Amino acid sequence: MDKKKILQIVLPSIVIGIICIVGGIKLHDWYIWHAPAYNSNEKQVLLSSKIDKLTDEQKNAFWEYAHAVAHSEFKVDDENVANEDIEDESLLVEKSNKKHKYDISYVCKVKTSDTTIKCSSKFTLETHSSLKDDEFKYSNFFH
């Protein structure tokens, strides 16, 4: 075979290989960060003490959302409470029967300079299809 035929075979193979690698990386990134059942109207538990249907990245994202809501609602940024004074107890993530919404139950202990308070909260979380995005809305908060 001459060099021209080899080049005609090798060059397209390299291009196809690069496209497959880049596409695979994008698909993997989408899979690990995609909000589970995002467009579903079916209620289902995604994370509890007995059920775990989330990737590690998805689980960490929901914990971060719960922390952010707790910081906001419990006024954790007060000078009496530091971030390391919050101890996680439990997290329940349930896909609600509305598209793009999740019902979250979060329990933690907040230590102040003179006492420890157990905080239990529930709220509805609305996020984008990618949990990698830091933007979210929450509503129906109560504790």
Q: Give the span between the Cα atoms of 140 and 142, in whole angstroms.
A: 6
pLDDT digits (tens, 9 = 90+) for 117-136: 888 899 999 988 888 877 78
pLDDT(83) > 60? no
Q: How far is CA 61 from CA 17, 20, 23, 103, in A?
A: 32, 28, 24, 14
Residue 120's identity, in one-letter code, is: S
pLDDT(56) > 60? yes
Which bin fits 100, alpha (ψ -120 to 50), beta or left (φ > 0)? left
The pTM score is 0.75
